[in-house]
Amino acid sequence: MCGIAALQLRNPSLHPRMGSLLSSMLCQIVDRGPDSAGLAVYDTPGLVSDGTSTVSLLGKHHGMEIDGILTSLNDMLSPDARSTVKIIGDTTLISAAVPTALLVKAVGETLPASTIIGRGEHVAVMKGVGHPMDIAAHHGLESMAGSQGLSHTRMATESAVTASGSHPFSVADDLCLVHNGSFSNHATVRRNLEREGVVFDSDNDTEVGARYIASRLQQGDTLEEALINLGKVLDGFYTLVVTTADSMAVVRDPIACKPAILAETEDYVAMASEYRALAALPGIERARIFEPEPGKVYTWSL
Amino acid sequence: MVTLMAPDATAPTSDSSTDVRPGSDAGDTTTDLDTASVRDLNQALHDSVGAASWTVTKPGGKHSLAVGITADVDVTIEGHAGYYAAGMLQKGRVTINGNAGVGLAENIMSGTVHVRGDASQSAAATGHGGLVVIDGNAGARCGISMKGVDIVVGGNIGHMSAFMAQAGRLVVCGDAGDALGDSIYEARIYVRGSVASLGADCIEKPMRAEHLEELGALLAAAGRSEDPSDFRRYGSARNLYHFHVDNSTAY
């Protein structure tokens, strides 16, 4: 079992409440995965900003002082990039006014032993091991604003209970994936992707799904096409939620082994593993509530 | 009306006629699940005696509401229920004025469960008896392994419904998903709309007078107005009952 709660806020007046709403949803799915958790938040002031790329790093200790990191980045990117380093809970966020790929390269060379868990101009990704609400509180989710938020509580099956095995997996710019279920042929798909030059950060089956989607998107698929292709290549049980800079997608495996329920209003689209995570959302009594059909890809754009 | 607040609500111990207690037959009891726990609600329902009437407010999608009832009570849940609502019902009537999550009325023995909205997967799974009415749609695996329960769905049902069904009747006023009645034993299935596909050993069968009659009675019991003659009947071809001699060379 794992738990998922995701929220896309269509009405900008709700953006200041993103963190508190997502936190209230997360609270209701803790039972489904109490061992570890992760969060992705989009367009959160103070974490990301327009015209700037941000890289999220697992952990707050990287064997180098913040000044040393900044000196290295300034050498590589020029001081005009205005590089910054922030510690949020157990996550390090490094930002600079350069293209994301360039920042990823500079961070990778500066801190070769660190794991990049998020990248892009809009998203910040945070992960940890322990009680999901402790992880959320430690990172200050409650007070975060934003346009979209994605959370996952994990009950590990296919790989170890580690922060790097927590979801979401964010392996391309502003792209995040969370997964309830398990992929049974992930080792085969992993080998095929590795042959194409894809590099993995963990032994996790969901990372294979994320890297597969990123690979398809790079080859020109739309998000919907990438998820349809995923259904043809990856075998197993899954409810997946994928977020990008401005969209959210939900898909369940064709046998519908894993739950999902959606609530849609003019103000938001919310997805959760169970209805109780949606019960406290504003205007839920007027929302269109439905379970996604098995094997059908649903997408919503901001 | 009283509100059950105290966590130590128990069965009435006196015959005092002035004291309205949860579970007494002195009227309607309201339990607000914003304040009371599900455990308290279920314990009070288990302890109730007589023809009590219960209203459950603010269910908030909580799981296991009104499960294991053995008394002749009427329970109305005002809102959406989570997983396993009205499971193992042995007596009484449970009405959900909202949607129900996975495993509605699982292993129901008798009594009636009525959902005014939609039900998620595995509704009335393994049910031995009683009646489960879903006004909206039901998800996948509705009536899986049903053993005698009657199910009436006003809308559509998902794939693999009535999988390995052994006894009982499943009535679908809308459409049925893929693999309806796969590996079915002896339950009878009535579908008014389309069937995406039939499962292994499930076939269409003729509607005879006794089927129109039993379907009419089921629709009436569910408070529905569909015409029984608009339905088709499906059931077991009984080809999976016995070992097939052609397979003997496989050993």
Q: With bands split at pLDDT 50, 70 and 90, how would you rate the model's confidence at B19? A: very low
Nearest to B177 by CA among B224, B240, B121, B230: B121
- Asked if residue A94 belongs to a domain, the reply is yes
Cα–Cα distance, B100 to B85 (Å, whole number): 7
pLDDT tens for residues B43-63? 999 998 877 899 999 999 999
* Residue B118: closest C-alpha in chain A: A290
**pLDDT less than 70: residues of chain A:** none
- Asked if residue A9 belongs to a domain, the reply is yes
- Asked if residue A85 belongs to a domain, the reply is yes
pLDDT at B14: 39
Cα–Cα distance, A209 to A215 (Å, whole number): 10
Average pLDDT, chain B: 90
pLDDT at A157: 82
| Chain B CB within 8 Å of residue A1 CB | no
- B interface mutation test: which of A25, A291, A293, A296 has the most B CBs within 10 A? A291
**Residues A28, A30, A32, A36, Cα dihedral to 10°:** 150
Residues A265 and A296 in one domain: yes
Is A259's CB within 8 Å of B118's CB?
Answer: no
**Which of A72, A100, A121 is a domain's end point?**
A121
In chain A, residues with a C-beta closer than 8 Å to the C-beta of B85 are: none
* Residue A277: closest C-alpha in chain B: B61
Query: How far B240 CA lies from chain A's nearest CA (Å)?
Result: 23
Cα–Cα distance, B33 to A243 (Å, whole number): 34
Q: Is the pLDDT of residue B12 over 80?
A: no
What percentage of chain B has pLDDT greater than the value 90? Answer: 82
> Token match 């990049």: residue?
A116
Q: Is A27 a catalytic residue?
A: no
In chain B, residues with a C-beta closer than 8 Å to the C-beta of A256 are: 121, 139-140, 158-159
- Asked if residue A256 belongs to a domain, the reply is yes
Q: Which position among A2, A27, A176, A257 bears the catalytic label? A: A2
In chain A, residues with a C-beta closer than 8 Å to the C-beta of B118 are: 290-291
- Using an 8 Å Cβ cutoff, are B56 and B100 in contact? no
**Paired sense of beta strands B28-32 and B2-3, if any:** parallel
Residues A59 and A178 in one domain: no
The residues in A 18-77 lying below 8 A from B, measured between CB atoms, are: 28
Cα–Cα distance, A147 to B172 (Å, whole number): 41
What is the residue type of A149? Answer: G
Contacts of residue B128, defined as CB under 8 A and 6 or more positions apart, other chains included, come to B107, B108, B109, B110, B147, B148, B149
ipTM of the shown complex: 0.89
Residues A99 and A60 in one domain: yes
Distance of CA B246 to the CA centre of its chain: 40
Question: Can you give the CATH number for the domain in which A202 is found?
Answer: 3.60.20.10
Average pLDDT, chain A: 96
pLDDT tens for residues B59-102? 999 999 999 999 999 999 999 999 999 999 999 999 999 999 99
Distance of CA B76 to the CA centre of its chain: 14
In chain B, residues with a C-beta closer than 8 Å to the C-beta of A294 are: 140, 158-159
Residues A289 and A211 in one domain: yes
Domains contained in chain A, number: 2
Is B83's CB within 8 Å of A278's CB?
Answer: no
pLDDT at B50: 74
Cα–Cα distance, A37 to A20 (Å, whole number): 17
Contacts of residue A253, defined as CB under 8 A and 6 or more positions apart, other chains included, come to A181, A231, A236, A237, A238, A239, A294, A295
Is B63's CB within 8 Å of A289's CB?
Answer: no
**Which of A101, A121, A141 is a domain's end point?**
A121
Is A274's CB within 8 Å of B159's CB?
Answer: no
In chain B, residues with a C-beta closer than 8 Å to the C-beta of A276 are: 60-63, 82
Q: What is the mean pLDDT of residues B28-51?
A: 92
Contacts of residue B54, defined as CB under 8 A and 6 or more positions apart, other chains included, come to B28, B29, B30, B31, B45, B48, B66, B73, B74, B75, B76
Among A286-290, B29-33, B50-54, B169-173, the least confident range? B50-54
Residue B129 tokens read as 């008896």
| Chain B CB within 8 Å of residue A133 CB | no
Residues A179 and A222 in one domain: yes
For A261, the domain range is 2-48+131-301
pLDDT tens for residues A129-166? 999 999 999 999 999 999 999 999 999 887 889 898 89
Residues A199 and A297 in one domain: yes
Residues A91 and A109 in one domain: yes
- Using an 8 Å Cβ cutoff, are B126 and B108 in contact? no
Q: Which of B61, B62, B140 sits opposite A256 (nearest CB)?
A: B140
In chain A, residues with a C-beta closer than 8 Å to the C-beta of B38 are: none
- Asked if residue A230 belongs to a domain, the reply is yes
- A interface mutation test: which of B62, B64, B144, B182 has the most A CBs within 10 A? B62
pLDDT at B9: 38
Residues A224 and A260 in one domain: yes
Is B80's CB within 8 Å of A289's CB?
Answer: yes
- Using an 8 Å Cβ cutoff, are B68 and B44 in contact? no
Residues A25 and A100 in one domain: no
- Asked if residue A115 belongs to a domain, the reply is yes
Q: Which of A256, A274, A291 sits opposite B61 (nearest CB)?
A: A274
Is B101's CB within 8 Å of A290's CB?
Answer: no
Residues A74 and A169 in one domain: no
Residues A240 and A105 in one domain: no
Q: What is the mean pLDDT of residues B183-212?
A: 97
| Chain B CB within 8 Å of residue A278 CB | yes
Query: How far B102 CA lies from chain A's nearest CA (Å)?
Result: 8
Angle between helices A66-77 and A100-110 (to 10 degrees): 130
pLDDT at B248: 82
**Paired sense of beta strands A169-172 and B112-115, if any:** unpaired
pLDDT at A158: 75
**Paired sense of beta strands B53-57 and B28-32, if any:** parallel
In chain A, residues with a C-beta closer than 8 Å to the C-beta of B101 are: 259, 274-275
Residues A27 and A55 in one domain: no
Residue A226 tokens read as 């990438």
**Residues A145, A146, A150, A152, Cα dihedral to 10°:** -20
pLDDT at B134: 98
- Asked if residue A126 belongs to a domain, the reply is no
Is B61's CB within 8 Å of A280's CB?
Answer: no
**Which of A94, A121, A148 is a domain's end point?**
A121
- Asked if residue A105 belongs to a domain, the reply is yes
